[in-house]
Amino acid sequence: MTQIQGSKDCGNSPKNQFVQDVSVAMECGEAMPEAFSEDVTWEQPATQPPSGKNALLEYLGSRSKPASITVLHAISHGKVGAANGEVTLANGHTRRFCYVFEFTNTKANCISVIKSYS
């Protein structure tokens, strides 16, 4: 079971909480199909990004679960949200992550573009 330490940014903000939840799910290799548009794209450094909801969900399913995730910040404004933090893998290796999400609307409940930096 992955230990999660959430951001203090979420407070009363459902949009910030959504950003955090999606980021944690992505780091854990878990799918949240309702969070993504059918034509979602994921721009990643140095890898061939999955394009489309099915490809994204398949890619996420192939990721291994980390030992722990610390979300430092999870923020949103208008049609954009971002989260960053640290992941510790089962072997003790630690790496940082950062996701920037573009939403399909200002309700911020469906992601059309993901840009990640790690």
pLDDT tier for residue 46 given thresholds of 50, 70 and 90: low
The reported pLDDT for the residue numbered 49 is 73
C-alpha to C-alpha distance for 2 and 35, rounded to whole angstroms? 21
Q: Does domain 3-117 have CATH number 3.10.450.50?
A: yes
Q: What is the pLDDT of residues 15-25, one digit of tens each?
A: 999 999 999 99
Mean pLDDT throughout 69-89? 96
Q: Domain extents for the chain?
A: 3-117
Q: What is the pLDDT of residues 1-12, one digit of tens each?
A: 899 999 998 888
Mean pLDDT throughout 104-118? 92
* CB atoms inside a 10 Å sphere around CB 44: 14
Beta strands 36-43; 3-5: pairing state: unpaired
Look at residues 27, 36, 30, 34 and name the one whose alpha carbon lies nearest to residue 86. Answer: 27
The reported pLDDT for the residue numbered 78 is 93
